[in-house]
């Protein structure tokens, strides 16, 4: 596995470096249950992309999936991508939506770990299948379709795909966790 940068390859845009456009784009950004300033202050260095990406990510965070289910998908994706920044931010968000510490540890073990309800295991399995093969299997799809409507089913691969994009970007740019954001071992 490729070593993750221990320092930013592209540093967050410092407040004194921000122009009016950057300040406008960064104004009022809040992530439920987390402090995620470095991701935004880094990505705002590409204002056109940032302006388009932010609403899409925001839509997925406020989409049709139940918040706990969404966070299980995101956490498993962050774990599989070895994206410690994304993992830590969503551990904090996950706590706010009912993911307890035992669940967080089990997410690392995957869908076959003892203690998962069948549907939770199917969510983790969907994230793994998308990560490994780019497609949810029929068996996993059937479990998800037993509870989710069409919009929710569409969101499952969109959430996993989006958080692959975010994880790949954070890993490659070397975005570092803010103080108080847990890592893989905390």
Q: Per-residue pLDDT tens for 86-112?
A: 999 999 999 999 999 999 999 999 999
Spatial distance between the Cα atoms of 73 and 79, rounded to a whole number of angstroms: 10
Considering only CA atoms, which of 38, 17, 20 is closest in space to residue 29?
A: 38
**Residue 136: φ, ψ to 5°:** -80, 130
pLDDT per residue as tens digits for the range 71-83: 999 999 999 999 9
- What are the DSSP calls for 99-129, one per residue? --HHHHHHHHH-TTSTT--HHHHHHHHHHHH
The tokens of 174 are what?
């070397």
Question: Quick count: other Cβ atoms within 10 Å of Cβ 93?
Answer: 21
Range of weakest confidence among 108-117, 158-167, 177-186: 177-186
- Is residue 32 scored above 60 in pLDDT? no
Spatial distance between the Cα atoms of 30 and 154, rounded to a whole number of angstroms: 25
Can you give the pLDDT at residue 1?
Answer: 83
Spatial distance between the Cα atoms of 88 and 156, rounded to a whole number of angstroms: 21
- Is residue 53 scored above 60 in pLDDT? yes
Residue 63, SS3 per DSSP: coil
pLDDT per residue as tens digits for the range 105-147: 999 999 999 999 999 999 999 999 999 999 999 999 999 999 9
- Is residue 64 scored above 80 in pLDDT? yes
Spatial distance between the Cα atoms of 120 and 116, rounded to a whole number of angstroms: 6
Cβ-proximal residues to 135 (8 Å cutoff; 6+ apart), any chain: 129
Range of weakest confidence among 18-32, 54-68, 78-92, 95-109: 18-32
Cβ-proximal residues to 79 (8 Å cutoff; 6+ apart), any chain: 87, 107, 108, 184
pLDDT class of 35 with cuts at 50, 70, 90: low
- Is residue 34 scored above 60 in pLDDT? no
Can you give the pLDDT at residue 83?
Answer: 98
Q: In terms of residues, how long is the chain?
A: 186
pLDDT class of 186 with cuts at 50, 70, 90: confident
Can you give the pLDDT at residue 36?
Answer: 64
> Cβ distance 147 to 50 under 8 Å?
no
pLDDT class of 4 with cuts at 50, 70, 90: very high
- CATH of the domain spanning 16-186: 1.20.1290.10
Q: How deeply is 92 buried, as exposed, middle or buried, from its count of CB atoms within 10 A (0-12, 13-18, 19+)?
A: middle
Q: Where are the domains of the chain?
A: 16-186
Q: pTM for this one?
A: 0.94
């Amino acid at each position: 596995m490729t070593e993750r940068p221990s320092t930013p390859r592209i540093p967050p845009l410092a407040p004194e470096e921000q122009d009016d456009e950057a300040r406008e784009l960064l104004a009022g950004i809040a992530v439920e249950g987390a402090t995620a300033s470095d991701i935004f202050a880094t990505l705002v260095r590409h204002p056109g992309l940032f302006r388009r990406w932010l609403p899409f990510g925001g839509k997925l965070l406020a989409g049709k999936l139940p918040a706990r289910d969404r966070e299980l998908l995101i956490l498993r994706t962050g774990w599989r991508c070895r994206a410690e920044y994304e993992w830590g931010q969503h551990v904090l968000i996950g706590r706010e939506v009912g993911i307890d510490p035992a669940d967080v540890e089990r997410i690392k073990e995957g869908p076959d770990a003892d203690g998962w309800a069948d549907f939770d295991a199917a969510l983790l399995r969907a994230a793994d299948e998308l990560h490994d093969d780019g497609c949810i299997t029929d068996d996993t799809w059937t479990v998800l379709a037993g509870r989710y409507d069409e919009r929710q089913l569409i969101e499952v691969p969109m959430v996993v795909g989006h958080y692959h994009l975010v994880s790949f970007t954070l890993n490659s740019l070397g975005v570092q966790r803010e103080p108080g954001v847990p890592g893989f071992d905390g």
